[in-house]
Amino acid sequence: MSEDEKDGKPEKPFFVSRCLAFMIDMFLVLLLSSMIATPFVDANKMLTLREQSVNIVEKYQKNEMTDKEYLVEISNLEYMMARSTELVTIIMILLSVLNFVVLPLYNKGQTIGKKLFKLRIESETSELSANQLLFRSLLANFLLLNIISILFIMFANRDIYMYVVELFTFTQYIITFGSIIMIAFGKDGLALHDKLVHTKVVKVK
């Protein structure tokens, strides 16, 4: 425990350490999701879709299709790719809950990434709770976006899916960018999700 923590004033974590911890956690979730789902994903279909995507981009760059035609074709491919990777998204949701909610709940507020960089999540009000970690993860770790994506890919048509997912994706990036600014330049080093659910990230030894 740091000297600041002994005095009741947790040390503010380095901005770079917190960003690296986040990137490691997200990378591990994505990597494990892909590894687990790979045997169940049609590799040939995915390869064909990627090749079609490259061809469409090349045609567009050569002015062989209009902006509207390009957007329609790319949207169709993105939708088909999302349909083909439903299992990956479901596994990502489960692993995200495991790493960002369950693990820190029973591991003193630490995910794998935060453990590596000696950081931990603490509650500003009482003992860290599952609700705090869950709502924090919905905003901070793309969990809400993935849940919205899988629900709409399963139960909505292409147009509704593309509109809703693009809207939530844009919102997610705004939240993420805003949180980075808040962590880097805010006096308390708290991200948006920290302020909303009354948590903080501190440096530990």
Task: Write out the two tokens for 115.
Answer: 């453990």
Buried-exposed string 59-91: b where 16+ CB fall within 10 A, e elsewhere: ebeeeeeeeeebeebebebbbbebebbbbbbbb
Closest CA to 198 of 135, 119, 104, 141: 135
Q: What share of the chain is helix, strand, coil (3-state, %, to 5)?
A: 75, 5, 20
pLDDT for res 7? 47
The tokens describing 144, both together, are 């809400």
Q: Where are the domains of the chain?
A: 3-41+85-203
pLDDT of 15 reads 85
Identify how many contiguous H helices and E strands the chain contains and give both numbers: 11, 2
- How far does Cα 129 stand from its chain's mean position? 20
**CB proximity list for 166: less than 8 A, separation 6 or greater:** none
Taking only the tens of pLDDT, the chain with its 205 residues reads 444 444 444 445 578 899 999 999 999 999 999 999 989 888 898 899 999 999 999 999 999 999 989 988 998 999 999 999 999 999 999 999 999 999 999 999 999 999 999 999 999 988 999 999 999 999 999 999 999 999 999 999 989 999 999 999 999 999 999 999 998 888 888 999 999 999 999 988 7
Residues 6+ apart with CB under 8 A from 84: 41, 42, 45, 46, 49
The answer to whether the pTM exceeds 0.75 is: yes
